[in-house]
Structure 1
C-alpha cells in the first residue's frame, strides 16, 4: 500500500472497526442498501464506463457498479484491509471479472490522471484528514467532464439510529458524538461546507439533494441494540463506563428500539446527502 496520511482512520479501519464491518458485511449492507439505487441511478453508469468507488468497504456498491458498466472496469479503494479481503472474496464468488480492489488512502493515492469516467461512494468520503486535498486528488483521477456522486451522512433529525443512541445521553458520554467538522461520519452534514470543499477541489455543478432510506438493523430490538453497541462508535461510548452502566445502556436502547420492531425486523430511517458534481471539461 502507498503512503497514508489519514493515520487515525487507518488504525481504526484496520483494527476493531474494520474487522467488525468485514465480519458483519451482510448486516451493514442491510442497513445501507436503500441508498444504492439513488446513488447509482443518479450517476448513470454506462456500458464501458471506468468507475472509481472511494471508501468501497466490503464492495457492495463496487460490484453493483461493475454490473452496470458491463465491459468497463471498476476499482474499489479503501483503507481497510479486512474489508477489502471480504470484498475480494465476494467478487470472486460472484465471478465478477471487471472488478479490482486496492488498499490505499484516497487523499494521497497515486491515481493515473484522467483514468475514470465516474466516481462513486456510499458513506466513504467523510473520513478525510483534509477533504479539499482528497477531493482534488480524486478529481485528477477523473477525465475532463467526468462525473461524481456520493452519499454522506446528514443531520441527526433524520437518523433514527442516532436518535436512539441520543436516548442514552444520561447514561453514556454522548457529548460530541457525531459532531461535524472533524473526520467522521458527520463531517459533511452542512451542504454549504460540501459546496465549499468541492469547489475548492475544482469541481463544478455541485449539488446536494436530501435522501432518506429505511435500513434493517436487526431481527428484533435485542439483536439491533447489541449490533449498535458492539460497533465502533458504540464500543467507544460503552468503554468509558463501568460494566453495570453498560448493561443499563443496553437495556435502555433495547426498550427504545422495540417501537421499531415490525414483521421480524428492526427498521430505522437514515438521512443522507446525495451529492453530485463534475470535473470541468
Structure 2
C-alpha cells in the first residue's frame, strides 16, 4: 500500500511503489501482488508510454518487472532496462523474464538518483509509481535526463493528493487509536510528493525537461478477490505491521477487527477495491 499507500513498496529513489510503501514479499506466491493491485492503472500507463519497436527503454522503479517486460515485448528491435533498489524484487523479475524467454531485457540494482547511466542513450524513460521517494528529486530527474537522448520522452505514473486517494486514509484510520479523528500524514517516505502539478512541473523543468503535461487517471486499486484474502495480503505490509507493533493483545485485535470491517465494506463481490486518483505525467528531453 507502493504502487499506494494504495499499499506501497520501496522507500528510496528508483524503488517501485504501490499503495502503502513497503512490504515483505511481492507478486503471485508472495504476500502482496502489486501488479494485480494496479492492473487498471497499468492499462492507462501502457497506452501513454507508446513504446516503439526500436525504442531503448529505461524503467525506473521496475519492481518485479511487469512494465519492463511489457515495454520489451513491443521494443522488439530495441531493448528495456529495468532499475530498482530492491534486489529481492529484481530476483523475481529476472526469474519471470527468463521463464518467458526475453532476450532484450536487463535489470540493474541501482538508485536512479545517482546511478551512472550511459549518457544520451535511451529513447524513453517510464516509471509506474517509482519516482515519488527520491531524497533529491531535482538531482534524480537531472540524472535521468542525462541518460536520455535529445527528443526522448518521459512518462510517469504518480499518485495525486492523499485526499483524492481513499486507500490513503481508510486503512490508516482503521488502525489508528482514534479512527474517527482526521487522518494525520504518515511518517516516512511520501507517496504523494509529486501530487501537485505545479510542484512536479517545476521539478521537471528545473531538471531540463520541457512540454510537461498531466492526465488524470481515476481507477480503483485492487486488494484481493474477497475480504479475507485482502486482510491476509495487507497484513504483510510494513505500515500495517508497524501500527500493531507494541500493542497489547486486546488493542491489536480491536484494530485488526476494524481493518477486517473496512476491507469487508469495500468487497464488491468481484474483489476488494478502494478509490484512487493518479497522474500520468509526460515530458520531453529537449
Shared fold, TM over 0.5: yes
Name the residue aligned to 1:35.
Answer: 41
Secondary structure at the aligned position of 1:273 is classed as strand
Unaligned ranges ≥5, structure 1: 1-6
Contact 1:19–1:82 (8 Å) recurs in 2: no
Deviation, structure 1 residue 167: 3.0
Contact 2:31–2:236 (8 Å) recurs in 1: no
Q: 1:33–1:25: structure 2 CA closer, same or farther, 3 Å change rule?
A: farther
Secondary structure at the aligned position of 1:45 is classed as coil
Which of 192, 199, 204 pairs up with 2:210?
Answer: 204
Name the residue aligned to 2:12.
Answer: 9
Distance 1:274 1:37 in 2: 12
TM-score of the two chains, using structure 1 as the length reference: 0.87
Distance 1:56 1:98 in 2: 15
Whether 1:267 and 2:273 are equivalent positions in the alignment is: yes
Name the residue aligned to 2:185.
Answer: 176
- More helix by proportion, 1 or 2? 1
Name the residue aligned to 1:48.
Answer: 54
Secondary structure at the aligned position of 2:119 is classed as coil
Unaligned ranges ≥5, structure 2: 1-9
Which of 32, 55, 76 pairs up with 2:82?
Answer: 76
Deviation, structure 1 residue 33: 1.6
Whether 1:21 and 2:26 are equivalent positions in the alignment is: yes
Q: 1:120–1:276: structure 2 CA closer, same or farther, 3 Å change rule?
A: same
Contact 2:125–2:153 (8 Å) recurs in 1: yes
Deviations 1:101-149 (A, max 9, x none): 0000101100010110000000100111100000000000000010010
Deviation, structure 1 residue 26: 6.7
Deviations 1:168-216 (A, max 9, x none): 2435796321x7xx74312212111111111110101111222122332
Contact 1:153–1:188 (8 Å) recurs in 2: yes
Contact 1:18–1:83 (8 Å) recurs in 2: no
Contact 1:18–1:80 (8 Å) recurs in 2: no
Whether 1:244 and 2:253 are equivalent positions in the alignment is: no
Contact 1:171–1:249 (8 Å) recurs in 2: no
Name the residue aligned to 1:61.
Answer: 67
The aligned runs of 1:123-134 (5 Å cut-off) are 123-134=129-140
Distance 2:44 2:167 in 1: 21
Aligned length, in residue pairs? 268
Name the residue aligned to 2:98.
Answer: 92
Distance 2:216 2:122 in 1: 26
Name the residue aligned to 1:136.
Answer: 142
Contact 1:62–1:76 (8 Å) recurs in 2: yes
Distance 1:225 1:193 in 2: 35
Runs of 4+ more than 6 Å apart: none
